[in-house]
Chain A
C-alpha cells in the first residue's frame, strides 16, 4: 500500500514540483494551497503518512492549520515536517511540535531523505 503524503504550500510551482517528484518515488501525494484545503483533505480519507507544511499562506496559515489539526483527534497524530523559508525554522518547528523541518530552498536529496525517514518506501 502506498504512503499518502499531503503537500501544503500556497506556491503552485513548489507544490506541484514536490507532488510530482513524490509521485515519481511511488508515494501517493496530494497538494493543498492553504490550511483550509489541507484540513479538509486530511479529514476526507485515512490514513496519512506525513504532512509537508509551509507556514506563510493566505486564508489559513501553517500555524493555525497545525493548531486545528492538533485539536482534532481524528487527524492529530499525523506527523508534520515544516518546510519554510523563514530563518528561524528550527525554533518554529519545535514550537509546532513538528517531527522535523526543511529549510527552503532545499536540495532534492535532502527533501527525499527527510520524507523517507517517516515514510519508508
Chain B
C-alpha cells in the first residue's frame, strides 16, 4: 500500500485531509491532556485558532461544573484504560457559548505500547439535538393533548384492528380502562349484528382504500349500553410508507342527537298548540253563531208567551237559561284553552274599578234574581287603576256566578277597597262555605268544591285565578265570619303583566 511504501508522504496526505475537514473537530492531546494539534473543523466549532490553543489544557473546552466534577480527567483515564471513550454533552466555545458535542477520545500508543497522547474527534450536535428535542417535545405535547382529551375517544389500532393505545376520552365514552381494552379487537365496540355482517373489517378496508373512513352509528359501551357515535378512522404509515395501523377518533353524539330530537318535538308541540288555539277560536265562533240565533228566538218566544201561555213561558225560560249556560261554557273553554297555552293577552287600560263592578252586577241582575241572591256593592270612591276591564269584569262575574250557584238564596256582598299600594276586592256569600281542605284545590281546573251536581265544568274559579295572576295579583278564599265563603282578590294598581301559568 502507498502508506507502507512511503510512510511520510502518506502521513502528509492524511494530515491534509484532516486539516480540511470542517464538520468534525479532529485534534491531538499530549499524554497530559494539552492540545497538540488543531484542524479547521476544531477552529470552526470551538472558535480558537491553532496558535491560541496549542499547548493549552483541553479542560478549557469543558463547562466549569464538569471540570469541578472531574469529568475531563475521567474521560482521559477511561480512554487510557480501555483505548477509547465516547461522550455526549455540553462543551464551551472560546466566546463562552455552549454547544452540544458528540466526542470520541482514543488513546494513541507507540509500538512499545507507551501512551503518546489522545486523538479527539468532536462533532457539534447542537442543531440536531435541538431538532430532536423539538420533536420529542412535540410528541409529548401531542401525547398530552390526546391523553387529556375528554370529549373525543382517540386511540390506535394495529393493522389487524387490535387496540394499542387508549385515552381519557375513550375511557369516558366506552367505559373501559386502558388496561382492560389494549390488546382487544375493536369489534367489541360494535353491536353484535354489525360484527356478524363483517362491518368492522369493511371499515378498515375502506379506510385503507380511501385514506379515511367516516361513519355515524350506534356503538356499544362496556356495560352493553349503546350510544350514537361519529367515527373517523385514518390509516397510519411510518416514514418508509409501511402500514402501522389506524387512528380512530370517536365522538359521542348522544347529547346532540337528543337535542335535535327535543328541538323537533318542541316545534311539533308548538305547532300542535297553535292548531289547537286556532281550532278553539274557530269552534267557539262557530258555536256561538247558532247559539245567538237560538237565544234570540227563545227570548222572542218567551216574550210572546209570557202573558198568553205562562206554562210554555216557564219551559222556554228554562230552555233560554240553558242556552245561556251553554254560551258561558263555550267562553270558559276558549279561555282555558288560551290560558293553558299562555296566550292570555291583557289589554290594560285606565279603569274605574267601582264602575266596572257595578256594571257587572247590573248585567247579572237577572241571574241574581233567578238564584234569589240579593247583591249589595260597597266601593271606596275613585279607585282607578290600569287593568284589562274585560278580564277583571270576568273575575267579578265568575265569582258572583259561583256564589249564585253554591249559595243560592243568600245575600251576596261585593266590597272594593283600597289596600296599601293596591286594591282588594271581596265577594262574600252566606252559603255553606268551603272546607279548609278544598280552599286551594278549587282554583285548579275541573275542580268543584262539592260533589253536588250543579252544572258547569268547574272552570270559573280557575279562569279567575289565571286572570288575577296574569295581572300580578292574587286570589284566595276564606271562611267568612258568621258562615259562608269570602273570595279575596288582591290587585296591584297597575297590572304587572305576567305570563299566564
Q: List residues of A whose CB falls within 8 A of some B CB.
A: 11, 13-14, 17-18, 20-21, 24, 56, 85-88, 90-91, 104-109, 111
Task: List 8 additional contacts besides A14-B293, A87-B335; criterion CB under 8 Å.
Answer: A11-B289, A13-B293, A14-B289, A21-B300, A24-B300, A106-B292, A106-B296, A107-B299
Bound together, the chains give a CA A11 to CA B292 distance in angstroms of: 10
Minimum CB–CB distance for A116 against chain B, Å: 15
Q: Is the CB of B300 within 8 A of A105?
A: no
Smallest CB-CB separation from A90: which chain B residue?
B390
Residues on A with beta carbons closer than 8 Å to the beta carbon of B327: 105
Known contacts A87-B331, A88-B347, A90-B390; is A107 also within 8 Å of B295 by CB? yes
Q: List residues of B whose CB falls within 8 A of some A CB.
A: 284-285, 288-297, 299-300, 303, 323-324, 327, 331, 334-335, 347, 389-390
Bound together, the chains give a CA A63 to CA B324 distance in angstroms of: 28
Bound together, the chains give a CA A108 to CA B299 distance in angstroms of: 6
Q: Is the CB of A105 within 8 A of B299?
A: no
Residues on A with beta carbons closer than 8 Å to the beta carbon of B389: 90
Total contacts A to B, CB within 8 angstroms? 60
Q: Is the CB of B296 within 8 A of A17?
A: yes
Q: Is the CB of A106 within 8 A of B334?
A: no
Residues on A with beta carbons closer than 8 Å to the beta carbon of B292: 14, 85, 104-106
Minimum CB–CB distance for A96 against chain B, Å: 15
Q: Is the CB of A18 within 8 A of B288?
A: no
Smallest CB-CB separation from B296: which chain A residue?
A17
Residues on A with beta carbons closer than 8 Å to the beta carbon of B296: 14, 17-18, 21, 105-106, 108, 111
Residues on A with beta carbons closer than 8 Å to the beta carbon of B300: 17, 20-21, 24, 108
Known contacts A11-B293, A21-B300, A87-B334; is A107 also within 8 Å of B324 by CB? yes
Bound together, the chains give a CA A105 to CA B285 distance in angstroms of: 10
Bound together, the chains give a CA A17 to CA B289 distance in angstroms of: 12
Bound together, the chains give a CA A91 to CA B349 distance in angstroms of: 11
Residues on B with beta carbons closer than 8 Å to the beta carbon of A86: 285
Bound together, the chains give a CA A105 to CA B347 distance in angstroms of: 22
Smallest CB-CB separation from A11: which chain B residue?
B289
